[in-house]
Amino acid sequence: MISTDLYAIAARVKNLARMNDASLSPIGDALCNLHIHMLKQFYDLAETFPEPHRTKMFELIESKEGFCRDVINLNKKRER
């Protein structure tokens, strides 16, 4: 199972956001920070669920960790 520590979530989200030589602007960094804290709250909530619901929630939440990357990539395409 993946780590739900706030710093581990932050590392995963910001590493995904910086893929493809993207750098985070101050607005991008703020967006990531908001998203990280939201993910942490969802992970904490999922911890209270019984199995197999906990595992399914973790998978769903983890699949949304790339949201900031997707927003940055959409913005980069629009700027071209």
Residue 77 has pLDDT above 70, yes or no: no
Residue 1 has pLDDT above 80, yes or no: no
Residue pLDDT, tens place only, 13-70: 988 888 766 677 888 888 889 999 999 999 999 999 999 999 999 999 999 998 888 8
Establish whether the linkage from the previous residue to 52 is cis, with ω within 30° of 0: yes
What DSSP string runs through 35-76?
Answer: HHHHHHHHHHHHHTSPTTHHHHHHHHHHHTTTHHHHHHHHHH
